[in-house]
Amino acid sequence: MEFFHTPNHKHSFQHNKKRLTQEQVNLLERSFTSNSKLEPERKLLLAKQLGIPPRQVAIWYQNKRARWKTQSLELEYNAIQAKLETALAEKRRLEKDVERLRGELKKAHDLVLVLNQTQELPAHPMICSMFNSSSAEEGVGSSSLQQHEDQVSDHEVKQLEELYACLIGMQ
């Protein structure tokens, strides 16, 4: 019982662990850089070179691997976070472009309707079908535009481009 009440009891279990000098840390760092795993022969060699117990070398390596892993995770996180911010900014830009294009398409559709009603000009059937199908939907889907593009001949594409240029010029 007296063993537990000894004033020096607290210090009797502590190992005589010394702080490493900067020179010792530098040698361990260089060694870690060449190989992050510590083999028993290497541990003994380093302990002898540094003048510290092999266990202290092993613990330093274990702690260094943990710090290295944490730093690697932080760097990966920061890189992923930067990519996410870039992707979100691009998404916002694309959403604005889509809204702007929807507005232009609506203006063009309205203008074609007004022109068809006020003037007795024959409307091109492809234009009417494009506007009728697009106005039935909430927005213009890229798949429906692609289907129309696949059906339109080069001549019709030129006609549509000319009409669009004309409509844009009338605004």
Distance, CA of 102 to CA of 140 (rounded, Å): 7
Distance, CA of 51 to CA of 150 (rounded, Å): 79
| Average pLDDT over the chain, rounded to an integer | 78
Q: What is the pTM of this model?
A: 0.46
SS3 154: helix
Phi first, then psi: give them for residue 18, nearest 5 degrees.
Answer: -100, 150
Mean pLDDT of 6-25: 67
Mean pLDDT of 31-55: 92
Dihedral sign of CA atoms 143, 148, 153, 159 in order: negative
pLDDT above 70 coverage of the chain, percent: 62
Q: What is 18-94's CATH number, 3.30.9.30, 2.60.40.10, 1.10.10.60, 1.10.10.10? A: 1.10.10.60
pLDDT at 13 over 50: no
pLDDT in tens, 125-164: 555 555 555 444 444 455 555 555 555 566 666 777 777 7
Question: In the structure, what pLDDT confidence band is assigned to residue 124 with cuts at 50, 70 and 90?
Answer: low
